[in-house]
């Protein structure tokens, strides 16, 4: 009987996996369309954004300028989601995402033309211990950032709301895992495509080709989501009522979210301190390269794309199984694992030897942080009442991303004025504190809770 029971459980797991695939590709059209758009834009973002600090470095930017770029990105992430979520609740996801997609596509083209915009030099300045060398700012990179990040940040509330209204409440983590898996597949293909172009053409010409490909994918994604998304199922919330509504949404945030928000904010502040410098560490600080069978020699720039692909392989392999585990054991432990990986990766990377295999193993370890993302998103949007998913998500990210705005600039100053080791070590310390606080104060969100908010 025990063997029969075990066989039945295995069969149930197999059927469950097949059911998830069928649901994703056949039954939930809006989630499928959203995932196609996610794939295309994520391909563009992953091909471009992870290399932009290196692009800036070649245009003359130093550590503080690269940190400022990261903080401006954080500012956009803080400002865009709330009005984006409110707008999508008001006018519907189809119109909102089409507008956001077009803006992002134009942003990729502005990045392509960044050398034509020139640079602006600020400084040098001296203020006691805060001596800063001349800061070279590539104008086109910053201008393009305000546009390119539109779909990713302004459309965040819309994407969360689509999943919430299309997936059963007790399968939120699995629903997010479906969209995240497609999105992260682009995160696997994108870096490999970028690495191939950079290896073939060199970084200068190769990255220009990467930006052109990203713009093409952005245009296709915008057209697909506008034509195929079924707007008849959109649920519309109330119109935006100004700052008073923001305050009301923050005060009305479900009780499960503040402890998550506290830990998440510290962990993301830590990651934000050094995230834009990962490519600089690999290509300039470690300057690690490799010669592979068949492929041949890979420069540090090309190898970085392969490392990102390794990271995504681990993420893709682990994401859906971990999401299904979260549906059974609860979201908190899975989210905590992701936080811990976020926290530990910086100190491990900056102290790694210039050995491509060791660095590759570290990026594989980093991929485990994505395993907790579906559970993390489910924990954010799950407690929200129906028709408020966009605003709850927007309010959550408004707080988190506002606090983390200066993180990259802080990290850039530490990196430039003191040392990369200090910047990365400080990031790990902050991340560990955030993870510990979430473990102590974070609350579980159960399937029964999810059903209660449907």
Q: Output Rg (C-alpha) for the chain, integer angstroms.
A: 22
Interval 33-78: pLDDT, tens: 667 777 888 888 889 999 999 999 999 999 999 999 999 988 887 7
3-state secondary structure of 136: strand
Q: How far is CA 285 from CA 66, 351, 353, in A?
A: 15, 11, 11
Residue 57 lies in a domain: yes
Span 144-171, average pLDDT? 68
CATH number at residue 346: 1.20.1250.20
Span 389-408, average pLDDT? 80
> Which pairing describes strands 119-122 and 290-292: parallel, antiparallel, or unpaired?
unpaired
Which segments of 277-419 does DSSP mark as H helices, in order?
A: 278-280, 300-329, 332-350, 356-366, 373-381, 389-403, 407-413
> Rounded distance, CA 37 to CA 150, Å?
13
Residue 45 lies in a domain: yes
**pLDDT in the model for residue 305:** 95
Residue 217 lies in a domain: yes
Please answer whether residues 319 and 184 qualify as being in contact, where contact means their C-beta atoms are separated by less than 8 angstroms: yes
Residue 68 lies in a domain: yes
Residue 351 lies in a domain: yes
Residue 410 lies in a domain: yes
Which residues have CB under 8 Å from 83's CB, separation 6+? 154, 240, 394
Q: Which domain does 307 fall in, by range? A: 21-230+243-453
**pLDDT in the model for residue 134:** 77
Domain total of the chain: 1
Judging by beta carbons within 10 Å of its beta carbon (0-12, 13-18, 19+), is residue 200 exposed, middle or buried? exposed
Residue 9 lies in a domain: no
Q: What six digits make up the tokens of 251?
A: 């005060």
Please answer whether residues 299 and 149 qualify as being in contact, where contact means their C-beta atoms are separated by less than 8 angstroms: no
Residues of the chain by 3-state class (helix, strand, coil), percent to 5: 80, 5, 15
- Minimum mean pLDDT among 47-61, 138-152, 222-236, 281-295: which range? 222-236
> Rounded distance, CA 270 to CA 429, Å?
8
Residue 16 lies in a domain: no
Tell me the pLDDT band of 93, cut-offs 50, 70 and 90. Answer: low
What is the percent of the chain with per-residue pLDDT over 90, rounded to a whole number? 43
Please indicate whether residue 254 or residue 263 has the higher confidence score (pLDDT).
263
Whether the predicted pLDDT of 278 surpasses 90? yes
Span 313-330, average pLDDT? 81
Interval 334-347: pLDDT, tens: 889 899 999 999 99
Q: What six digits make up the tokens of 76?
A: 């956009």
């Amino acid at each position: 009987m025990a063997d029969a029971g075990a066989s039945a459980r295995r069969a149930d797991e197999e059927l469950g996996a097949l059911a998830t695939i069928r649901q994703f590709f056949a039954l939930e059209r809006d989630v499928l369309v959203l995932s196609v758009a996610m794939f295309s834009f994520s391909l563009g973002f992953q091909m471009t954004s992870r290399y932009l600090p290196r692009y800036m470095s070649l245009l003359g930017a130093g550590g503080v300028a690269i940190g400022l770029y990261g903080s401006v990105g954080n500012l956009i992430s803080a400002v865009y989601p709330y009005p984006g979520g409110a707008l999508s609740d008001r006018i519907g996801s189809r119109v909102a995402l089409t507008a956001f997609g077009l803006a992002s596509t134009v942003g990729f083209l502005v990045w392509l033309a960044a050398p034509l915009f020139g640079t602006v030099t600020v400084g040098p300045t001296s203020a006691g211990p805060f001596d800063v060398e001349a800061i070279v700012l590539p104008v086109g990179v910053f201008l393009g950032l305000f546009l390119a990040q539109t779909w990713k940040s302004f459309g965040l509330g819309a994407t969360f709301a689509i999943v919430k209204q299309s997936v059963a409440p007790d399968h939120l983590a699995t629903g997010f895992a479906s969209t995240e898996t497609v999105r992260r597949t682009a995160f696997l293909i994108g870096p490999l495509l970028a690495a191939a172009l950079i290896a073939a053409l060199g970084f200068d010409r190769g990255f220009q080709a990467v930006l052109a490909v990203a713009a093409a994918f952005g245009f296709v994604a915008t057209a697909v989501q506008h034509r195929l998304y079924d707007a008849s199922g959109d649920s519309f919330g109330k119109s935006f009522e100004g700052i008073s509504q923001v305050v009301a949404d923050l005060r009305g945030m479900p009780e499960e979210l503040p402890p998550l928000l506290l830990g998440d904010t510290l962990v993301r502040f830590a990651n934000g301190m050094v995230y834009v410098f990962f490519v600089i560490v690999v290509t300039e600080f470690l300057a690690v390269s490799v010669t592979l069978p068949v492929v041949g020699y890979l420069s540090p720039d090309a190898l970085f794309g392969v490392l990102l692909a390794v990271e995504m392989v681990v993420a893709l392999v682990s994401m859906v199984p971990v999401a299904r585990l979260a549906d059974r054991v609860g979201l908190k432990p899975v989210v905590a694992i992701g936080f811990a990986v976020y926290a530990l990766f910086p100190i491990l990377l900056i102290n790694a030897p210039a050995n491509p295999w060791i660095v590759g193993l570290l990026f594989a370890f980093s991929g485990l942080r994505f395993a907790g993302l579906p559970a993390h998103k489910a924990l954010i949007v799950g407690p929200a009442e129906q028709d408020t998913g966009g605003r709850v998500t927007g309010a959550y990210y408004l707080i988190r991303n506002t606090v983390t705005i200066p993180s990259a600039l802080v990290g850039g100053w530490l990196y430039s004025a003191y040392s990369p080791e200090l910047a990365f070590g400080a990031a790990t310390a902050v991340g560990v504190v955030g993870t510990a606080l979430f473990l102590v104060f974070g609350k579980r969100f159960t399937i029964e809770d999810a059903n209660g908010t449907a």
